[in-house]
């Protein structure tokens, strides 16, 4: 952690951040009881973290539970056009992350189409006709090994094992068929997308249901795994100032083992098998460029089944999961 961050975040701040990753809707009283502090202390720290690290808790939909696929799309652009293109893509409701990378000549976005028609409209039509886009490289996510909602904070081990066990939300049950959502579910999910900790009164207003009915809906969305919560934050105050995507090519026989190996590394906040010329992608957070070099040269370099690696720095995040907190 940098000296400046040390004055902003202490051990209790880190425990609170990790607690929210374990259960984004855990009440302040529950967190306070486990951590041995008062409700008011947790509430006060939460409000402060919204300012110091831009803390946001976001309700996320696991598209795989709905029978949908997710994509990571890399767009190569003509000079001086990437920022404008990124802003346009950020305006689409089906993009969740939009980053400027590679010296400002590449845009990378996470794309979650709701149907094959929406997928084809973007990949086969709109992007192909977009001015100044010189190449489109689309990767379908085949399997996420770690960090479906960028749960990197779990790796900081701020919580004691007993605290972590007490705060962890129940794991969702496996599903064998896609979960069906109705208009009421969608209305609730939209509220939670903007603020994962929205009070029940807001969910009642959106759904037009009683408190009991909303609680049942919310429990179903969580127990089926359709709804989970992401904790968004600025990484620099946590001492992680270097963010990069690493695209790896490995032998198919080694894909699962390699993916699981990198998923366990503390620098990795997302690891997934993907389609395309490369078959494994990592989102990496490091303290310095030197630490990134060590990760690439030693941890990636130690894997004999990795045939090639491309490391691309993230320069600016244009879009996160949600708007800024109100």
64-86 pLDDT, tens per residue?
A: 899 888 899 999 998 889 988 88
180-223 architecture in CATH? Orthogonal Bundle (1.10)
Share of the chain above pLDDT 90, in %: 62
C-alpha closest to that of 282 among 305, 310, 254:
310
The pLDDT of residue 324: 38
Report the predicted TM-score, pTM, of the whole model to 2 decimal places: 0.82
For 62, the token pair is 């696991």
Contact partners, residue 217, CB within 8 Å, separation at least 6: 184, 185, 188, 207, 209
**Cβ 319 vs Cβ 90: under 8 Å:** yes
Q: What is the mean pLDDT of residues 173-196?
A: 93
According to DSSP, the residues that pair with 180 across neighbouring strands are: none
Residue 326: pLDDT band (50, 70, 90) is very low
For the domain spanning 235-316, the CATH number is: 3.30.70.920
**Fold agreement between 180-223 and 235-316:** no
Quickly name the fold that domain 64-144 has: Alpha-Beta Plaits (3.30.70)
User: Does pLDDT of 116 surpass 90?
Assistant: no
Mean pLDDT of the chain: 89
- The residues spanned by each domain of the chain are 64-144, 180-223, 235-316
Q: 320 and 266 in contact (C-beta within 8 Å)?
A: no
Whole-Å CA distances, 12 to 34, 42, 53, 149, 159: 12, 9, 14, 23, 9
Q: Which residues, other chains included, contact 206 with Cβ-Cβ below 8 Å and sequence gap of 6+?
A: 187, 188, 190, 191
């Amino acid at each position: 952690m940098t000296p400046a961050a040390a004055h902003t975040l202490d051990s209790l701040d880190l425990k609170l951040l990790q607690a929210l990753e374990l259960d984004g809707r855990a009440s302040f009283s529950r967190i306070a009881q486990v951590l041995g502090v008062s409700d008011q202390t947790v509430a006060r720290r939460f409000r402060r973290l919204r300012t110091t690290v831009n803390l946001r808790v976001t309700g996320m939909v696991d598209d795989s539970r709905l029978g949908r696929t997710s994509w990571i799309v890399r767009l190569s652009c003509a000079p001086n056009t990437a920022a404008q293109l990124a802003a346009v893509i950020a305006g689409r409701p089906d993009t969740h992350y939009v980053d400027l990378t590679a010296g400002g000549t590449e845009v990378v976005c996470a794309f979650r189409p709701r149907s094959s028609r929406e997928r084809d409209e973007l990949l086969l039509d709109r992007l192909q006709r977009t001015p100044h886009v010189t190449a489109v490289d689309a990767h379908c996510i085949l399997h996420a090994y770690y960090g479906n909602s960028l749960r990197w904070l779990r790796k900081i081990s701020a919580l004691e094992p007993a605290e972590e066990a007490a705060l962890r939300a129940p794991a969702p049950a496996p599903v064998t068929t896609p979960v069906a959502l109705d208009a009421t579910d969608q209305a609730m999910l939209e509220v939670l997308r903007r603020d994962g900790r929205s009070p029940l009164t807001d969910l009642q207003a959106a759904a037009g249901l009683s408190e009991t009915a909303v609680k049942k809906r919310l429990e179903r969305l969580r127990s089926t795994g359709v709804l989970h919560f992401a904790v968004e934050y600025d990484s620099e105050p946590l001492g992680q100032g270097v963010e990069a995507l690493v695209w790896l090519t490995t032998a198919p026989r080694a894909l699962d083992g390699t993916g699981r190996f990198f998923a366990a590394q503390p620098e990795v906040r997302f690891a997934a098998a993907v389609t395309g010329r490369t078959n494994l992608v990592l989102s990496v957070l490091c303290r310095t460029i030197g630490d990134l070099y060590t990760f690439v040269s030693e941890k990636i370099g130690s894997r004999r089944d990795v045939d090639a690696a491309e490391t691309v720095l993230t320069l600016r995040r244009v879009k996160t999961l949600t708007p800024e907190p109100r």
